Amino acid sequence: MSLDRTPAWARGPLRIARQALRDIEAEAVAAYARQEEACGYVTGPLDDPSLADQSHPLQNLANAYHQADPEGHPRTGREYFKINVLKFEQAIQAAADSRRAVKIFFHSHLDCGAYFSDEDAASMTMGSEQEPTYCMCYLVTAVDQGEVTAHALFAWTPETRSFEPVGLQIL
């Protein structure tokens, strides 16, 4: 993802509608009660590149994969998220078809803070040190003891070949 071809929303900073963030927080708290990370995405209009205004949750499939094959999938949904990639890519296309874009992928961390882990980086780069698979920012929401305690937004930085914190303004 060269910087000159990267959409503005994938570089940050971003503005997020308060209701979208509330929806993410509600999803994160509900997922905590299920002992799993929440995950999903936030869309926004193409004509306002820094605005993300509508949250869409995705099902975390990690627990189902773990239950079906504990040896092949040793971690549970409490430790990571697994999504249906086909459904996510269909959502990206549907957003584009309606003059919107998926600008943020979000997930929660349970009882460990809002940071971009090595596992998060591996998931977003399909396990390599290459560029991210999708052009968007990444929001991590911390849920500690069942309550949201922090949010942190990250964007891929080509110079450092890593995900770095960027600003997030709540509208």
Query: 51 is written with which tokens?
Result: 């605005």
> Would you list the DSSP string of 35-94?
TS--EEEEEEETTSTTEE-EEEEE---HHHHHHH-TTTS-S-TTT-----HHHHHHHHHH
pTM score, whole prediction: 0.92
Give the pLDDT confidence of 50-78 residue by residue, as tens digits: 999 999 999 999 999 999 999 999 988 89
CATH superfamily, domain 3-170, is Cytidine Deaminase, domain 2 (3.40.140.10)
Residue type, 104: I
Query: Which DSSP symbol is given to 96?
Result: H
- CB-based contact 113:63 (threshold 8 Å): no
Report the pLDDT value the prediction gives residue 1, as an integer from 0 to 100.
45
Give the pLDDT confidence of 133-149 residue by residue, as tens digits: 889 999 999 999 999 99
Query: What is the spatial distance between Cα 83 and Cα 60, in angstroms, rounded to a whole number?
Result: 6
Report the pLDDT value the prediction gives residue 133, as an integer from 0 to 100.
85
Task: Give strand pairing partners of 108.
Answer: 141
- CB-based contact 110:78 (threshold 8 Å): yes
Answer whether residue 158 shows pLDDT above 50.
yes
Helix (H, G, I), strand (E, B) or coil at 129: coil
